Every structure is written in C-alpha cells, then in structure tokens.
C-alpha cells in the first residue's frame, strides 16, 4: 500500500494497516502526536481500529504547548 506521509509518498507499506501499526512501523511516539488523515484528525482512541487505505494523505502533528 502507498500512503502520503508529511507530503512524501511512502511505498510498500502492508495493506490494511491501522494507525497504531503505522506509528509503530515509523517508530513515532503515540503520546506526543496527533495523526491527521485526509485533513481530519483521527481520534486517538480509534488508532487501533482506524484502518488506512491506499492513497490516504497523512500528516503527523507534534503537540506543542508553549505560550
């Protein structure tokens, strides 16, 4: 499966990947980020069940808390 992640196409990902599995694959820290899929934030409680589809466009958003 092919996904666009932070503006770059990534090929050869396993099909029917969940958001959690993708984050594990990319070694990203779940607690520090939000995942945006096709311009919509994926609720964190659904990361295990949200299944990604060919051509999805994802952005990894790092939480910031400064003010």
Partner 1 sequence: MTPEQISRYARHLVLKEIGGPGQAKLLAANIAIIGAGGLGGPAGLYLAAAGVGKITIIDDDAVDITNLQRQIQFVQTDIGALKTEAMGGALVDLNPDITVRREQMRLTDDNAADLLRGHDLILDGTDSFQTRFIVNDASLYLGIPLISGALGRFDGQISVFSGNGADGPCYRCLVPSIPPDAQTCAQVGVVGALAGIIGAQMALEAVKMITGAGAPLIGKLYLFDGLAATARTVTLPKDPACPACGAK
Contacting positions for partner 1 (CB under 8 A)? 29, 31-32, 34, 36, 39-41, 43-46, 59, 61-67
Between 14 and 28, CB nearer to partner 1: 28
Q: Is the separation of the CB atoms in 42 and 36 below 8 Å?
A: yes
* Spatial contact of 61 and 42, defined as CB atoms under 8 Å apart: no
**Which of 11/65 has CB closer to partner 1?**
65
Element (H, E) at 3: strand 3-5
The distance of closest approach from Cβ of residue 9 to partner 1 in the complex, given in angstroms and rounded to an integer, is 19
């Amino acid at each position: 499966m092919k996904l666009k992640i932070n503006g770059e196409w990534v090929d050869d990902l396993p099909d029917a990947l969940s958001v959690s599995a993708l984050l594990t694959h990319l070694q990203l820290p779940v607690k520090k980020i939000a995942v945006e899929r096709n311009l919509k934030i994926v609720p964190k409680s659904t990361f295990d069940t949200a299944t990604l589809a060919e051509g999805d466009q994802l952005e990894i958003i790092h939480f910031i808390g400064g003010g």
